[in-house]
Amino acid sequence: MKLLRNRLFAALALLMLLSGAAFASAAQVTLLSMNDIHGHIYPEDGVGGLAKASTVINSIRAEAPGDVLLFEIGDVNEGPLFFYFHGHAEMRGLSLLGVEAGTLGNHEFDLGEEVLFEAVSRANFPIVVSNLRYKDGRPAPFPQWGAKTTANGLKIGYFGLLPPALASVTSGSGSFRAGQDLPSEAERMISLLKKEGCDIIVLLSHCGLEDDRLIARSAAGIHAILGGHSHALMETAEFVEGPGGWVTTVGQAGSYARHLGRMNLSVKEGRVDREETSWQAIPLGKDVPEDLKVAWLIEPFRERLNERLEIPLAPQPTDMDARAELLRRKEAPLGNFIA
């Protein structure tokens, strides 16, 4: 009996050693992202929209169930849908897609704090942002970070950052201000997420590509930056070297829900494996069918919006000529109408 027990302990120890070595040597996770949707949740000329995105997302999830995380990178709200429905349409659509977490963009603030909170409340996923505070120094009422353990045992930590120039890129920031020192904010969150035992750290950045590069060059510890704000359509991954030879993978997927970002992130011994890590911006073109359930559930907002937009505001008996050479040099019907 003693011999059998010793053999069992030895087998268990060997299994733990081998699994630990495999975990330390290689780990993979698929990160999906959508950024700068700006209210374009429906197809336009047969291209883009959340229902098409859902079709592609479901196909990717079928490849590796439990190892795929979808993130929203800010500026989902803007335009007529946001003005009339205060984020309800966009957040319903994204919630149907199974978003893990999102962050804020500057346009989420356009209609003021009350509408911002209303829009965020419509989401069934957390909105994280770590460099947003009230002007009196109090922390903003949003979580600064989150974490998810995947089916293969990886703990993925994530946090969000807003552009430092928040007040100049929206009229509705109100009593909020964004932290100015992005590298310091990133280092603070890296330290926190490491203490939380995260194996992989992801930044959801609505700061723009140049600031993403700055953060990656300045702060070691971020494995992936999923970006937005600058509407960059990146066809391949960008690997940015930081302190101590640390490498961060950067990706951004254009705008207006015309592409879905996909990062196949591979980590060996805690660092990004450049050979096995890739990025692509998947087109949501005319050949991609819509997920009919998603399309059906967000269609009522478009119907109600069209009804409101068809309500006449005032009669105008003449044509509206908006050519610059006319408006700058003489009186015009359009100018009179606006005045």
Segment 319-337, tens digit of pLDDT:
766 676 665 556 666 666 6
Whole-number Cα distances in Å, 156 to 29, 162, 194, 316: 9, 20, 10, 57
Does residue 166 lie within any of the structural domains?
yes
Beta-sheet pairing, 200-205 with 176-178: unpaired
Q: What is the pLDDT of residue 336?
A: 61
- Measured CA to CA, the distance from residue 312 to residue 43 in angstroms comes to 26
Is the model's pLDDT at 175 over the cut of 90?
no
Are 95 and 125 in contact, with CB atoms under 8 Å apart?
A: yes
Is the model's pLDDT at 18 over the cut of 50?
no
76-113 tens-digit pLDDT: 999 999 999 999 999 999 999 999 999 999 999 999 99
State what percent of residues in the chain have pLDDT above 70: 83
Does residue 318 lie within any of the structural domains?
no
Q: Where are the beta strands (DSSP E) in the chain?
A: 27-34, 68-72, 101-102, 132-134, 145-149, 155-161, 176-178, 200-205, 224-227, 238-241, 247-252, 259-268, 271-272, 278-283
Are 290 and 47 in contact, with CB atoms under 8 Å apart?
A: no
Q: What is the pLDDT of residue 331?
A: 62
- Measured CA to CA, the distance from residue 137 to residue 169 in angstroms comes to 21
Q: What is the pLDDT of residue 337?
A: 62
A 10 A CB-CB count for 312 gives 6
Are 316 and 333 in contact, with CB atoms under 8 Å apart?
A: yes
Does residue 158 lie within any of the structural domains?
yes
Is the model's pLDDT at 290 over the cut of 60?
yes
Does residue 131 lie within any of the structural domains?
yes
**Rounded to two decimals, what is the model's pTM?**
0.86
Is the model's pLDDT at 22 over the cut of 50?
no
Q: What is the pLDDT of residue 306?
A: 87
**What mean pLDDT is reported for the chain?**
90
The identity of residue 327, as a single letter, is L
Q: What is the pLDDT of residue 338?
A: 60
Q: What is the pLDDT of residue 24?
A: 53
Q: How many domains does the chain have?
A: 1
Q: What is the pLDDT of residue 215?
A: 98
Whole-number Cα distances in Å, 130 to 39, 64, 122, 226: 24, 30, 20, 15
Is the model's pLDDT at 225 over the cut of 60?
yes
Q: What is the pLDDT of residue 17?
A: 46
Is the model's pLDDT at 265 over the cut of 90?
yes
Whole-number Cα distances in Å, 46 to 52, 59, 188, 254, 288: 10, 20, 44, 17, 9
Q: What is the pLDDT of residue 162?
A: 95
Is the model's pLDDT at 133 over the cut of 70?
yes
190-202 tens-digit pLDDT: 999 999 999 999 9
Does residue 292 lie within any of the structural domains?
yes
Which of the residue ranges 92-106, 167-181, 280-294 would you say has the lowest mean pLDDT? 167-181
Q: Which helix (H) or strand (E) holds 334?
A: helix 333-338
Q: What is the pLDDT of residue 56?
A: 99
Are 60 and 253 in contact, with CB atoms under 8 Å apart?
A: no
CATH code of the domain in which 215 resides: 3.60.21.10
Does residue 111 lie within any of the structural domains?
yes
Domain of 57, in residue numbers? 25-300
Does residue 73 lie within any of the structural domains?
yes
Does residue 309 lie within any of the structural domains?
no
The predicted model gives 237-254 an average pLDDT of 98
Q: What is the pLDDT of residue 308?
A: 80
